[in-house]
């Protein structure tokens, strides 16, 4: 019987990384601010900004650090209320708390996207909005931006899992005032750890650069080539010595691992989408599995698969997960697995624990499985068969229906 590859194995790091890492090990030049110019981290920032089409990028130690610095860069008052979706990873409310702000959670629907009525109802009284595109699922960014712009609310995009995703032709991460991405191993570009924030706003990037640990005049290594407006330099001068230094910088070694992966992003996005849509089409044959549709303006870049179990009780859902595991496919039901970091009720550190019945209902039937871009369509067919068969094993054969 054919078997599936280990879904947690990453793609090999491109060979070109080795020569650069060797050079760095030889010279010991690992700190981003040692070289007078063109350090690997600086080059990564330029290349990433160019890839996304934003003016500025700041590479840091993680996406969580990027989210924290984004909130700090906005200069929000202590205890500012920040609206986030109720479906995200625990790192997101954690970054809000780290920034001395209070997370306010809004409902997310069965399609993993923000419930716009609840979002609008909760906007009054918040001072910033952090849209976490959880698992790369994009909420209605047109409606979100219209509502936030009308109130003058800054929007941060948590695009940790959305590299390569587009909304109406625009790159996710460039729609809000700041976009944050992750290079943690389970994301599209893998450096083990790492993150980057992008923005077009010189004031915000200047603050974030200093906060990230650009002490003294090391910020001079961030001035953009071809930026003749002087806006960035003026912003740096304005914030000199005014901000704490949190030291969340990226090492040159991480940049050396990330840079050669950037030319592979387009292929990974293409293959990930092909795999996802192939599996989703097969799963549509099962009456017990629903893969929610994306919103029309979204072009996805998935590297994992989420679907809802339909018409199963908890025991049946657990049996489904067991049957899938026996077939070699690990499925996590967000709301049923113990201590899941994506189930909001497990964020017991929240200063205010909300009741989100719609989000809870979704989490209690929504399944999560990895679907790496490197899988072949044969692998994908096998994976889909395992899931369809697992549902059938639990709920009985399809032909029992309609007879």
Contact residues toward ligand PLP (CB under 6 A) are 62-64, 88-89, 91-92, 132, 134, 158, 160-161, 182, 184, 195
Angle at 40 (CA atoms; ends 39, 44), nearest 5 degrees: 120
Complex with ligand PLP: residue 82 or 391, whichever CB lies closer: 82
CA distance 237 to 75: 17
Cβ-based nearer residue to ligand PLP, 183 or 307: 183
Helix axes 91-98, 63-73, angle to 10 degrees: 40
CB of 92 to ligand PLP, least distance (A): 5
Q: How far is the CB of 312 from ligand PLP (least distance, A)?
A: 26
Q: Which residue blocks in 15-62 are alpha helix, DSSP H?
A: 16-27, 40-52
Angle between helices 265-283 and 377-395 (to 10 degrees): 30
Strand extents, DSSP E, 69-121: 81-85, 102-106
Taking the complex as a whole, how short is the minimal distance between the CB of residue 180 and ligand PLP, in angstroms? 8
Q: Output the smallest distance, CB 342 to ligand PLP, in A.
A: 9
- Residues ≥6 apart with Cβ < 8 Å to 361: 110
Q: How far is the CB of 254 from ligand PLP (least distance, A)?
A: 11
In the complex, least distance from residue 163 CB atom to ligand PLP, rounded to whole angstroms: 11
> Minimal distance in Å, beta carbon 139 to ligand PLP?
12
Shortest distance, CB of residue 70 to ligand PLP, whole angstroms? 12
> In this complex, which beta carbon is closest to ligand PLP, that of residue 160 or of residue 283?
160
> Are 32 and 39 in contact, with CB atoms under 8 Å apart?
yes
Determine how many CB atoms are found less than 10 A away from the CB of residue 227: 13
Residue 155 burial (C-beta neighbours within 10 Å; 0-12, 13-18, 19+): buried
Task: Give the shortest CB-267-to-ligand PLP separation in angstroms.
Answer: 21
Min separation Cβ 159 and ligand PLP, Å: 8
List strands edge to edge, sheet with 289-290: 289-290, 304-309, 366-370, 332-333
| Nearer to ligand PLP (CB atom), residue 191 or residue 291 | 191
Whichever of 137 and 282 has its CB closer to ligand PLP, that residue is 137
Token pair listed for 260: 């050669």
How many other β-carbons are positioned within 10 Å of the β-carbon of residue 81? 17
- Smallest distance from the beta carbon of 268 to ligand PLP, in angstroms? 16
Strands 102-106 and 298-299: unpaired
Comparing CB distances to ligand PLP, the nearer of 248 and 291 is 248
How many angstroms separate the CA atoms of 138 and 298, rounded? 7
Return the number of the residue (159 or 312) whose C-beta is nearest ligand PLP: 159
Contacts of residue 176, Cβ cutoff 8 Å, sequence gap at least 6: 129, 131, 145, 154, 155, 156, 157
Residue-wise burial string across 163-198, b where 16 or more C-beta atoms lie within 10 A, e elsewhere: bbbbbeeebbbbbbbbbbbbbbeebbbbbebbbbbb
Which is closer to ligand PLP, CB of 131 or CB of 382?
131
Do the Cβ atoms of 44 and 174 come closer than 8 Å?
no
Q: Which of 134, 363 has the CB closer to ligand PLP?
A: 134
Q: Which is nearer to ligand PLP, 183 or 288 (CB)?
A: 183
- The nearer residue to ligand PLP, 254 or 286, going by C-beta atoms, is 254
């Amino acid at each position: 019987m054919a078997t599936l590859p280990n879904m947690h194995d990453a793609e090999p790091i491109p060979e070109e990384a080795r020569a650069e890492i060797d050079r760095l090990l030889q010279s010991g030049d690992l700190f981003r601010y040692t070289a007078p110019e063109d350090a690997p981290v600086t080059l990564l920032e330029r290349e990433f900004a160019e890839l996304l089409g934003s003016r500025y990028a700041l590479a840091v130690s993680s996406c969580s650090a990027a989210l924290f610095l984004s909130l700090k860069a906005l200069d929000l008052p202590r205890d500012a209320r920040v609206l986030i979706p109720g479906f995200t990873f625990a790192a997101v409310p954690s970054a809000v708390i780290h920034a001395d702000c209070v997370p306010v959670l809004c409902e997310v629907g069965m399609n993993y996207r923000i419930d716009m009525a609840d979002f609008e109802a909760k906007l009054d009284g918040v001072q910033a909005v952090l849209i976490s595109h959880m698992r790369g699922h994009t909420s209605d960014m047109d409606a979100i931006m219209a509502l936030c712009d009308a109130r003058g609310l800054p929007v941060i995009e948590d695009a940790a899992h959305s590299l390569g995703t587009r909304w109406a032709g625009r790159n996710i991460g460039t729609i809000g005032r700041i976009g944050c991405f992750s290079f943690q191993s389970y994301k599209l570009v893998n450096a083990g750890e790492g993150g980057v924030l992008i923005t077009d706003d010189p004031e915000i990037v200047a603050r974030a650069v200093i906060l990230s640990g650009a002490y003294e005049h090391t910020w001079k290594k961030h001035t953009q080539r071809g930026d003749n407006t002087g806006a960035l330099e003026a912003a740096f001068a304005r914030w000199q010595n005014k901000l704490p230094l949190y030291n969340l910088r990226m090492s040159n070694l991480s940049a050396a691992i990330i840079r050669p992966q950037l030319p592979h992003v387009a292929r990974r996005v293409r293959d990930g989408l092909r795999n996802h849509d192939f599996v989703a089409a097969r799963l549509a044959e099962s009456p017990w599995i629903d893969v929610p549709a994306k919103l029309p303006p979204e072009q996805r870049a998935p590297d994992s698969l989420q679907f809802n179990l339909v018409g199963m009780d908890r025991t049946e859902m657990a049996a489904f997960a067991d049957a899938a595991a026996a077939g070699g496919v690990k499925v996590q039901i967000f709301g049923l697995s113990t201590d899941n970091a994506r189930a909001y009720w497990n964020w017991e550190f929240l200063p205010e624990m909300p009741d989100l019945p719609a989000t809870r209902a979704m989490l209690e039937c929504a399944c999560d499985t990895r679907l790496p871009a490197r899988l072949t369509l044969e692998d994908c067919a096998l994976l889909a068969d395992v899931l369809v068969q697992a549902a059938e094993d639990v709920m009985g054969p399809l032909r029992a229906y309609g007879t």
